[in-house]
Amino acid sequence: MRIVEREIARAPQDMDVRAWRARVLSWSGHLAEAEKEYLEILKAARNDPDNWMGLASVYSREGRIEDSLRALDRAVELDPKRADLRAARARALRAMGERNEARVEFQKALNLDPTSMEARAGLVSVRGEPRHEMRFGEDNDLFNFTSANHDGWASLVSQWTPHWATSFAGSFYERAGIRAGKFSGAITGRRPRWGALTVGGAAGHDNAVIPKSEAFFDISHGWKVSETNLLRGVEFVYGQHWYWYQASRILTLNGSTIVYLPRDSTLSVGATGVRSTFSGTGAEWRPSGIVRLGFPLANWVERRLSGNIFFAAGTEDFAQIDQIGRFASQTYGGGLRFQINARQDVTGYASYQKRTQDRTDTSFGLSYGIHF
């Protein structure tokens, strides 16, 4: 500021120096003085788009978005081929909630300057939030004591309103050469005060290798703790799931706690109790538990890579809930998720399970999601 004031004293009519004074005033937070200086400059030099953009910046910081937009309209009118002016006008439109017009303006800025990261990020920021997710996946289990299992599935999850969502899925199984399939559906209601409740069920052609029918519900509630501390938030989930097989009935009670950590990391701890009833035998309960750590690996403008690792232990197989059996197991595994862009992602996982009687199960799978 001292340098600028000295230059103004030497050449008081130099509008470039006056413009620098206005910028320094704006940077230092003296917005009223900066606004006054820009208005004085524009009386003498009304055809400089930089001065109009500077005034628009001051108006924006003062919360006067409409005035800022009018100043930017004049700047763009003076030089319609400048990408930075187009991007600044798009930001003002976005601040006013005019997402469609902002999208057009960001696209014009990108057309003028294909290397503009600001315009590219701006286009991403004004996209409407996807309401639906279509996902296709396949899972495989390789055993050391029997033939492999192969599953395929497709699902559609729809967030109709902030309070209501639905999910539907079709699954196809090949177990020991026998094929089966099922259809499942669920509805979720969510209230900020009470949390979320999901209720659903499934039925299909079981061929004695998958459940004939299923019913389930989940209740979840989360609390935001802090934006800056190590603990950002915590969520609790409880659910029950009934499986009806041809020769048995299974009830699972599931409880888990999810801890939200910095940089989109999560730590979840879950416990499951299973009540198994087989034909000709009494009912019995068996426990299991799982610990999972999720963490980011890389973050670009639209592309993100994240991973997770987990360990599960119990007296039955809880890596794949429909493979109920009388054995103890330990499961080690992990997965990756790659965000291809704002509308597509790919996930994959692999795990190794060691069972009693020296039996093992190596699992792996892949899924592809489309968000629209």
Domains of the chain: 2-125 (1.25.40.10), 133-371 (2.40.160.60)
pLDDT at 58: 96
The confidence band for 323, taking pLDDT boundaries of 50, 70 and 90, is very low
Question: Distances in Å between the alpha carbon of 305 and those of 121, 179, 237?
Answer: 18, 35, 26
Neighbouring C-beta atoms of residue 6, cutoff 10 Å: 10
Whether the pLDDT of residue 214 is over 60: the answer is yes
Could you read off the pLDDT of 85-134 as tens digits, one per residue? 999 999 999 999 898 999 999 999 999 999 999 999 999 888 777 899 99
Spatial CB neighbours of 91, under 8 Å, sequence gap ≥ 6: 60, 102, 122
Mean pLDDT of 169-178: 93
- Residue 287 is encoded by which pair of tokens? 């426990």
* Contact indicator for 99, 91 with CB cutoff of 8 Å: no
The Cα 334–Cα 297 span in angstroms is 13
Neighbouring C-beta atoms of residue 319, cutoff 10 Å: 22
φ and ψ at residue 142, rounded to 5 degrees: -110, 115
**pTM confidence score:** 0.69
**Count of alpha carbons within 13 angstroms of residue 22, beta-carbon side:** 25
Q: Where are the beta strands (DSSP E) in 37-148?
A: 132-143
- Residue 225 is encoded by which pair of tokens? 């703790």
The confidence band for 316, taking pLDDT boundaries of 50, 70 and 90, is low
Whether the pLDDT of residue 152 is over 60: the answer is yes
pLDDT at 321: 39
Mean pLDDT of 299-317: 84
pLDDT at 301: 66
Whether the pLDDT of residue 353 is over 60: the answer is yes
The Cα 103–Cα 367 span in angstroms is 31
SS (H, E, C) 279-295: CCCCEEEEEEEEEEEEE
What count of residues does the chain have? 372
**Count of alpha carbons within 13 angstroms of residue 338, beta-carbon side:** 7
pLDDT at 348: 98
Q: Where are the beta strands (DSSP E) in the chain?
A: 132-143, 149-159, 164-175, 178-191, 195-205, 213-224, 233-244, 248-261, 265-278, 283-299, 304-314, 329-341, 344-355, 360-371
